[in-house]
Chain A
Amino acid sequence: MPKVAVVAYGHTKFSNEDLKIESVLLRATKNLFDSTPNLEQKDIDSVLVSTNNNSKYLSAILSEMTGIQPKIAHSVESLCNSGTNAIVSAYSYIASGLADVILISGAERYDSPGQILEWDNMRGEFKHPIFWASIFSKAYKREYSISEEDLAIVPVKNHKHAKKNPNAFSQKTISIEDVLNSKKLTEDLRLLDCSRPCTGGASILLTSEEFCKKFCDSPIWITGIGQKTTSASFTKNQGFDKMESTKQAAQMAFQMSNHSSENIDVMEVHDAFSVCEPIALESMGFSESGGGIKMIKESYSSENFKINPRGGLLGTGHPLGATGISQTIEIVQQLQFKAEKRQVETASVGLVHNMSAAATSSTVLVLEN
């Protein structure tokens, strides 16, 4: 299969700014152009936009605002994993020969309609994500004798990492006590267990092998892709202490890239809520069932940035359409040894895990330098 590289990226600071969605897309894209020598508008032959915003025709709008006249231009929406879905679409256009240089821009506002899946009436009155997260937390704690205090290590670690990420929403260190004393949303979920909806944008440039060297000396290759959607309804999940779509997506990505969990040097994991991080690690085979928290505690105590160096969703914030792209940018920076204070020591293979709607759909990407 033809090779596809990530060669450039741009990012806005994640915040609670009241900006039009077009402005967020434009800012992330301007940042990409500003940091990419040799890139001109005429080089880009396709533009994809990733968002849950209700505005229409955003890829054409972004193209006009940035002076691009692309061949392929459309939006991609798949709730929280819209960003990696757009990357997979772009990969496919390049691998098929339909395009060579694709701009993908993801953005969301703090008041995104993508936060609630209105269709899922089987959740009754309990449609807000805090309810599925509470059910997952309760099930996971019971099944593996994990305490609320054990789970609190996840936001503590990720806020610590986010403090070294200038684009992250959170810039403060928090303690286990801070998490346990934060507002109780339900019996099984506190405020600091939750990622924060915010305004933010992230843009990334994918090219074919032929074009990559024009824009970048150290292209990062997408070598594994796995995607699985098991349902749309939260209640269709088979068990609430594991993520079947994540498990299958990881298996596909590992098979395509000829890697396994043992080869991954650094990863961004979709920690929409504290409990998601250990369950995702276990579902992808990084630890045995129930062992995710032990792995996270060891990573924290050894000051290792391997899991969610960017700060994850908990520390960085979660502007849905931008999240998967922001996660991918972090892994690209790590593999280019440009992650500054967040840099892991050895980085040759990285992984992105991005999922939607109570893990009913997952994307896993493997990237290599």
Chain B
Amino acid sequence: MNFETELKKGKFLVSECPFCKIIVWPPSDFCNRCLKENSWKECSCEGKILEFSKKENTIFCVAEIEKSLKILGEIISGTPEIGKKIKVVDCGITNNNYFFKMAIIE
């Protein structure tokens, strides 16, 4: 399974070390602790806002997903506050850049 191939289809995978039982992020074929081969699983896509700002009408935030990995993405619905729960509702690759769109879920 290839992270980018799946991301292009809108599927958000994470790499997980079956030995260390940790999510390895950024996604990688090998664990950055034991260097053994990782496995891939679908991400729950749920997390919380750590910080946010705004450029014109685009709200962007650092979100912590599955209590372990952090991404910078766009909040497309809801009013952001630190600690509010979000879900990645769309992701993919455009113009060689990943994108993560999030919605506030509470």
Binding site for B on A (CB under 8 A): 118, 121-127, 130-131, 134-135, 137-139, 142, 185-189, 233-236, 240
Contacts and interface: CB of A to CB of B under 8 A. Distances in A.
B54 interface: yes
B55 A187 contact: yes
In terms of DSSP, what is the predominant structure of the interface of chain B?
Answer: strand
A214 B19 CA distance: 60
Contact of A124 (B54, B55, B69, B99): B99
Interface residues of B, number: 23
Contacts of B54: 186-187
B72 A122 contact: yes
B72 A123 contact: yes
Interface of B: 25-26, 50-55, 60, 62, 69-74, 82, 94, 96-100
A186 B74 CA distance: 14
B66 to A, nearest CB: 14
A240 B72 contact: no
> Counting chain A CB atoms within 10 Å of each CB, which of B26, B54, B99 scores highest?
B26
Given A131-B60, A240-B62, A124 B51 contact: no
B2 to A, nearest CB: 14
Contacts of A123: 71-72
A131 B53 CA distance: 8
User: 4 closest Cβ contacts across the A-B interface?
Assistant: A235-B70, A134-B53, A187-B54, A186-B55
A127 B26 contact: no
A233 to B, nearest CB: 6
Given A135-B52, A240-B51, 11 more contacts: A121-B97, A122-B70, A122-B71, A123-B71, A124-B72, A125-B99, A126-B72, A127-B97, A131-B55, A142-B82, A187-B54
Contacts of A142: 82
B97 A125 contact: yes
A142 to B, nearest CB: 8
A124 B55 CA distance: 15
B51 A125 contact: no
Nearest to A142: B82
A235 B53 contact: no
Nearest to B59: A187
Nearest to A186: B55
A336 B72 CA distance: 45
Contacts of B99: 124-125
Given A121-B26, A125-B97, A233-B26, A138 B52 contact: yes
B55 A139 contact: no
B51 A135 contact: yes
